Chain A
């Protein structure tokens, strides 16, 4: 691979992956904070307001990290992918500019009020500022998904005389059918991260016998939200997303599923290692005919394998794509199992005493991050070798003016700074968790 191309791809992949660790929690927590504030307002219960304030602090740290790692994303379209920006900017510039105008202004203006203005505002106005932050962060998500959806499935454009893409229909572009399901799937994923983190902190407090009143609220809210969104993540959002890939990116489906040969009644591979050299899966554990069923809803439907497509159009890194997809699906299934059991225990009133389950909930915190990251890797590796599906190849889109050496310089710089950010962020989160939801007297006894 051309070394400049590789550096620019790694540059975007690294900064995007690191960045998305933060917005997923921002968007998930924003929703849960609104829930806490709403309950607090309706029941006039100070404990819920304290809970919201505590998560507001964690939200604040996380938000800052999301913002500072997000600014480089917008810049990188121009710095590292200028040929692509010139090619597609007439279309995707719309959503990227709208994100700034509609989402960022809203978020940034009301975050300050939410975090620092509680005493200056009436309870209702403070609740409203929490809602504004939630709306801003979820809008932001939509604009980014709509941009990505154009790269996955370009619609609403025409090719101008100079070869660039220009907007033909605003609504076709903004309401890209790909964007709808991808957005639902992605936001549900973010809500899962928020729910698991809230549950995890609650479980930690319960297991250590601290702040148990607050901890029960955290666990209860987290488990209910976690259960709802884990189920939504698979059905309908994941299912519909899979259907779209089947219809619009069939070669990606074949690579994700590790299906080398086209066949009727194709099996679904649960575990196994793709062996590209021999065109098969090593050590497969499969469910017969299942892939035909989930893709075409018929047991004997013919599913096109990689052999049905020219090799030049195969996604570049099939093993990584295959593993990303399988890790995502495997973890998604695990989330449903954990959260359904936890919800049953909660419903029976046993959850707060069930130490084994609290341990599982506490330790499960990192997995939504892995699943969300793997999901994005599936989407973007699956789009390869295209930068804009069917219109521009990835190798044609990077900044030819920026040499591999200059790209490497900034990549290493970002790695260094992000390492510091990561360590600082974890350190601050630990402090806030240690500090607990209420200041003042010692934590409640067991």
Chain B
């Protein structure tokens, strides 16, 4: 039962990263790709009706994590106190940048909101990557089952680690590049003319960096935690992960210049999903590794009671089916390239 909930949380997190990832990425390229006010409005329109719903996946994943693994939620949220709070501040600023721009005309206000939106999107991508890096690297949990990390210590992987060290910063940069590419593919898919061309160009520019960083991050992860390969050794199905990751990279490179925007975006989504699946696969059944492995948090010592988990399965299935229906409906309603006719933003 706990394993099933591990998969559910992993799927919800991956859904969040794929969906909110493209609007974070759109924010990252926003100031460069969209030059004029009209172009900026078109980028906002392409994410406008969906970004809030995408972000709900983060909230819902957080809620389900709380419900299924209360001990993990308690330890990780209090241990990652500072970065999580900063993430909250960035989410607040970003939402304002998107939503309030339309209510105030005037170039000064628009520049203000544009900058807030783009900078907070970039920083969020880095922070989410660094968070993943922390989970893979392990945190200084002790016998109480709690820990606290300052934002940084000496950027080395010593006893008392900080949120940011060379490894987590590296993963943060990987995340930024990945989501920038992901957002570029999305903007290319949803817009045309100069804007669409610039987005395609940016995606092309990201590709070699993304490829290089993917390789570097895999090597670095193996270097800091060789035991991460254990699950891959035990279950050969794991070999699918690197295959899909590199295949989707190849598809992106091929589809983008050919103007197959949908295919490129799907490939990028697959890449994001399988990078996360790969991490989850390697960690299982650990959910938050400790620097000292005696104190690892696993699905077994953090899960809620079994009756609660069984009940949850009933309503979760119903809720997920409803959510999928809404999302399909909304994305269909707002499908196609965006113009500047009626509507907001």
> A residues touching B (Cβ–Cβ < 8 Å)?
60-61, 64, 67-69, 71-72, 74-75, 77-80, 82-83, 85-86, 88-91, 93-94, 96-102, 104-106, 108-113, 115-117, 119-121, 160, 164, 166-168, 170, 399-403, 406, 409-410, 413-414, 417, 421, 424, 428, 431-432
Q: Do B326 and A104 touch across chains, with their CB atoms under 8 A apart? A: no
> Can you report 30 A-B residue pairs in the complex whose CB atoms are below 8 A from each other?
A61-B103, A68-B96, A74-B62, A75-B85, A78-B73, A79-B81, A80-B81, A86-B74, A89-B71, A89-B73, A89-B304, A97-B68, A100-B60, A104-B59, A105-B56, A105-B326, A108-B52, A110-B326, A112-B48, A116-B344, A117-B334, A119-B342, A166-B308, A167-B307, A401-B79, A402-B148, A406-B148, A410-B85, A414-B89, A428-B100
Q: Which residues of chain B have C-beta atoms less than 8 A from A68's C-beta? A: 91-92, 95-96
Q: Which residues of chain B have C-beta atoms less than 8 A from A413's C-beta? A: 85, 89
Other A-B pairs beyond A112-B53, A113-B333, 20, CB < 8 Å: A64-B95, A67-B52, A69-B92, A72-B92, A74-B62, A75-B85, A86-B71, A89-B71, A93-B308, A97-B60, A100-B56, A100-B59, A100-B60, A101-B319, A104-B60, A105-B327, A116-B48, A119-B343, A421-B92, A428-B100
Q: Do B82 and A67 touch across chains, with their CB atoms under 8 A apart? A: no
- Nearest residue in B to A84 (C-beta to C-beta)? B74
Knowing A78-B77, A102-B319 touch, does A93 contact B304 (C-beta < 8 A)? yes
Q: Which residues of chain B have C-beta atoms less than 8 A from A77's C-beta? A: 66, 73, 77
Q: Which residues of chain A have C-beta atoms less than 8 A from B230's C-beta? A: none
- Nearest residue in A to B301 (C-beta to C-beta)? A162
- Nearest residue in A to B105 (C-beta to C-beta)? A431
**Closest approach, in angstroms, between the C-beta of A167 and any C-beta of chain B?**
4
Whether B250 sits at the interface, judged by CB under 8 Å, is no
**Closest approach, in angstroms, between the C-beta of B35 and any C-beta of chain A?**
24
**Closest approach, in angstroms, between the C-beta of B91 and any C-beta of chain A?**
6
Q: Do B88 and A72 touch across chains, with their CB atoms under 8 A apart? A: yes
Q: Which residues of chain A have C-beta atoms less than 8 A from B68's C-beta? A: 93, 97
Interface residues as binary, B156-200 with A (CB distance below 8 Å gives 1, 0 otherwise): 000000000000000000000000000000000000000000000
Whether B208 sits at the interface, judged by CB under 8 Å, is no
In the complex, A106 Cα to B53 Cα: how many Å?
9
Q: Which residues of chain B have C-beta atoms less than 8 A from A110's C-beta? A: 326
**Interface core residue of A61, A86, A168, A414 (most chain B CB under 10 Å):** A86
In the complex, A402 Cα to B70 Cα: how many Å?
18
- Nearest residue in A to B312 (C-beta to C-beta)? A94
Whether B329 sits at the interface, judged by CB under 8 Å, is yes
Q: Which residues of chain A have C-beta atoms less than 8 A from B103's C-beta? A: 61, 428, 431-432
Interface residues as binary, B284-326 with A (CB distance below 8 Å gives 1, 0 otherwise): 0000000000000000000011011001100110011011001
For window 90-107 of B, CB contacts with A under 8 Å fall at: 91-93, 95-96, 99-100, 103-104
**Interface core residue of A97, A104, A115, A399 (most chain B CB under 10 Å):** A97
Q: Which residues of chain A have C-beta atoms less than 8 A from B96's C-beta? A: 64, 68, 421, 424
**Closest approach, in angstroms, between the C-beta of B256 and any C-beta of chain A?**
28
Whether B78 sits at the interface, judged by CB under 8 Å, is yes
In the complex, A170 Cα to B315 Cα: how many Å?
11
- Nearest residue in A to B345 (C-beta to C-beta)? A116
Knowing A96-B67, A101-B320, A402-B148 touch, does A78 contact B53 (C-beta < 8 A)? no
The answer, among A72, A97, A399, for a CB contact under 8 Å with B78, is A399
In the complex, A121 Cα to B333 Cα: how many Å?
9
Whether B269 sits at the interface, judged by CB under 8 Å, is no
Whether B206 sits at the interface, judged by CB under 8 Å, is no
**Closest approach, in angstroms, between the C-beta of A175 and any C-beta of chain B?**
14
In the complex, A77 Cα to B48 Cα: how many Å?
29
- Nearest residue in A to B76 (C-beta to C-beta)? A78
Whether B121 sits at the interface, judged by CB under 8 Å, is no
Knowing A85-B73, A402-B81 touch, does A166 contact B66 (C-beta < 8 A)? no
For window 40-79 of B, CB contacts with A under 8 Å fall at: 48-50, 52-53, 55-56, 59-64, 66-68, 70-71, 73-79
The answer, among B63, B79, B84, B148, for a CB contact under 8 Å with A99, is B63
Q: Which residues of chain B have C-beta atoms less than 8 A from A167's C-beta? A: 304-305, 307-308, 311
- Nearest residue in A to B305 (C-beta to C-beta)? A166
Whether B330 sits at the interface, judged by CB under 8 Å, is yes
Q: Is the interface of A mostly helix, strand, loop or mixed?
A: helix
Q: Which residues of chain B have C-beta atoms less than 8 A from A113's C-beta? A: 49, 330, 333
- Nearest residue in A to B60 (C-beta to C-beta)? A100
Q: Which residues of chain A have C-beta atoms less than 8 A from B155's C-beta? A: none
Q: Which residues of chain A have C-beta atoms less than 8 A from B100's C-beta? A: 61, 64, 424, 428
**Closest approach, in angstroms, between the C-beta of B306 and any C-beta of chain A?**
9
Q: Which residues of chain A have C-beta atoms less than 8 A from B85's C-beta? A: 72, 75, 79, 410, 413
**Closest approach, in angstroms, between the C-beta of B263 and any C-beta of chain A?**
26
In the complex, A402 Cα to B305 Cα: how many Å?
27
Q: Which residues of chain B have C-beta atoms less than 8 A from A111's C-beta? A: 52
The answer, among B84, B312, B316, for a CB contact under 8 Å with A75, is B84
Knowing A71-B59, A82-B74, A111-B52 touch, does A89 contact B342 (C-beta < 8 A)? no
- Nearest residue in A to B45 (C-beta to C-beta)? A116
Q: Do A60 and B77 touch across chains, with their CB atoms under 8 A apart? A: no
In the complex, A71 Cα to B59 Cα: how many Å?
7
**Interface core residue of B50, B73, B79 (most chain A CB under 10 Å):** B73
Q: Which residues of chain B have C-beta atoms less than 8 A from A99's C-beta? A: 63
**Closest approach, in angstroms, between the C-beta of B276 and any C-beta of chain A?**
19
Q: Do B311 and A105 touch across chains, with their CB atoms under 8 A apart? A: no
Q: Do B327 and A93 touch across chains, with their CB atoms under 8 A apart? A: no
Q: Do A428 and B104 touch across chains, with their CB atoms under 8 A apart? A: yes
Q: Do A97 and B52 touch across chains, with their CB atoms under 8 A apart? A: no
Q: Which residues of chain B have C-beta atoms less than 8 A from A160's C-beta? A: 305
Q: Which residues of chain B have C-beta atoms less than 8 A from A85's C-beta? A: 66, 70, 73-74, 77
The answer, among A82, A116, A432, for a CB contact under 8 Å with B75, is A82
**Closest approach, in angstroms, between the C-beta of B323 and any C-beta of chain A?**
4
Q: Do A115 and B326 touch across chains, with their CB atoms under 8 A apart? A: no
In the complex, A97 Cα to B334 Cα: how many Å?
28
Q: Which residues of chain B have C-beta atoms less than 8 A from A69's C-beta? A: 92
Whether B146 sits at the interface, judged by CB under 8 Å, is yes
Q: Which residues of chain B have C-beta atoms less than 8 A from A67's C-beta? A: 52, 95
**Closest approach, in angstroms, between the C-beta of A306 and any C-beta of chain B?**
34
Q: Do B329 and A109 touch across chains, with their CB atoms under 8 A apart? A: yes
Q: Do A100 and B63 touch across chains, with their CB atoms under 8 A apart? A: yes
In the complex, A261 Cα to B78 Cα: how many Å?
43
Whether B147 sits at the interface, judged by CB under 8 Å, is yes
- Nearest residue in A to B75 (C-beta to C-beta)? A82
Q: Do B48 and A96 touch across chains, with their CB atoms under 8 A apart? A: no
Q: Do A401 and B146 touch across chains, with their CB atoms under 8 A apart? A: yes
- Nearest residue in A to B73 (C-beta to C-beta)? A78
**Closest approach, in angstroms, between the C-beta of A106 and any C-beta of chain B?**
7
Q: Do A166 and B304 touch across chains, with their CB atoms under 8 A apart? A: yes
Q: Do B148 and A401 touch across chains, with their CB atoms under 8 A apart? A: yes
Q: Which residues of chain A have C-beta atoms less than 8 A from B48's C-beta? A: 112, 116
In the complex, A335 Cα to B18 Cα: how many Å?
48
Q: Do A97 and B64 touch across chains, with their CB atoms under 8 A apart? A: yes
**Interface core residue of B62, B80, B344 (most chain A CB under 10 Å):** B62
